[in-house]
Amino acid sequence: MSEKLIDVAEDAGVVRLTINRPKALNALNSGVLHELETILTELETRQGLRAVLITGAGEKSFVAGADITEMREKTPEEARAFASQALRTIKRLEALPVPVVALVNGFCLGGGCELALACDWAVASDNAIFGQPEVLLGVIPGFGGTQRLPRRVGPAMALDLVTTGRKIDAQEALRIGLVNRVMPQAELEGYAEELIKQLTGNGPLAVRAAKQAVHDGMDQDLDSALALETALFAFCFSGAEQSEGMGAFVEKRKPNF
């Protein structure tokens, strides 16, 4: 049997994916991407899924990029096929109906940064290093970085990062809005637990609707996006969650979703 490259653990609807190639700083090779695809196929139809957390094995790296050794000999056609397939996979991760949280525990470079950009949340340890260093290798980001990075941090900073290839520390990543929180390495897991508790303590349909409104709305003109928000807002009134949430407020108790 081939070695597993992504460890999957689950607890109460929260799935934790750990990319497990620590000797290569968890670089994404075709084996990792293929396993991710298989896992996503299962998660997309999973009942009761509440959140997904993705991280890298070890204490040094989240993901140090796509596997350079594997990419090195590719022809343009092979590079196109590799990137297209990888893009489809990451899009499926992004499109999961529940919050996806990147736990960035170290190097977050190239394809690793692009993976974090496809997540709804990014929580970084204070030793994390971010960057899109592809130009140093004579290529550009091919895993969505030229598109998701400007959407996350604005075009000026995205152009800075993708054209210089410079690396930034966790504090700068926080300042430019690339990540949501920075925590001391030793507190990262504890914080992730708290965050997951917070996300899964809210109404699950409302959380899904909120994610959908932000994601789908971003690609639409303002009027269409606002109409989408209205439709999803109204949809929230069609189930038991809204009456429980509002009832609990009025009755001065905690809601039971």
Alpha-carbon distance of 257 to 239, in angstroms, equals 11
Write the single-letter amino acid at 63. Answer: V
Q: What is the DSSP string of 61-110?
A: EEE--B-HHHHTT--HHHHHHHHHHHHHHHHHHHT-SS-EEEEE-SEEET
Chain Cα centroid distance, residue 23: 23
Half-sphere exposure of 255 (CA within 13 A, CB side): 18
Which of these ranges, 5-13, 106-114, 170-178, 246-254, lies near ligand CO8 under the rule CB under 6 A? 106-114
- Please tell me the count of residues contacting ligand CO8 according to CB under 6 A: 23
- Candidates 54, 104, 107, 173: give the one binding ligand CO8 (CB under 6 A): 107
Q: Which stretch binds ligand CO8 (CB under 6 A): 1-9, 60-68, 91-99, 179-187?
A: 60-68
The CB-of-49 to ligand CO8 minimum distance in angstroms stands at 25
| 65 touches ligand CO8 (CB under 6 A) | yes
Specify the residue, 21 or 211, whose C-beta has the smaller distance to ligand CO8. Answer: 21
Per CB under 6 A, which region of 4-12, 41-49, 105-113, 228-236 contacts ligand CO8? 105-113
Work out whether 67 is an interface residue with ligand CO8 (CB under 6 A). Answer: yes
Measured CA distances, 214 to 170, 202, 205, 218, 229 (Å): 25, 17, 14, 6, 9
Which member of 13, 34, 58, 68 binds ligand CO8 (CB under 6 A)?
Answer: 68
What DSSP letter does each residue of 170-239 carry, written as one string? HHHHHHTTS-SEEE-GGGHHHHHHHHHHHHHHS-HHHHHHHHHHHHHHHTS-HHHHHHHHHHHHHHHTTS
**Binding string, residues 110-149; x marks residues near ligand CO8 by CB under 6 A:** xx---------------------xx--x---xxx------
106 lines the binding site for ligand CO8 (CB under 6 A): no
CA distances in angstroms from 63 to 10, 102, 228, listed in the order given = 21, 11, 35
Provide, rounded to whole angstroms, the least separation between the CB of residue 90 and ligand CO8. Answer: 8
- Active-site annotation holder among 114, 187, 193, 244: 114
Catalytic residue (one of 10, 42, 77, 134): 134
Q: Which stretches of the chain bind ligand CO8, using CB under 6 A? A: 24-25, 27-28, 64-69, 82-83, 86, 107, 109-111, 133-134, 137, 141-143
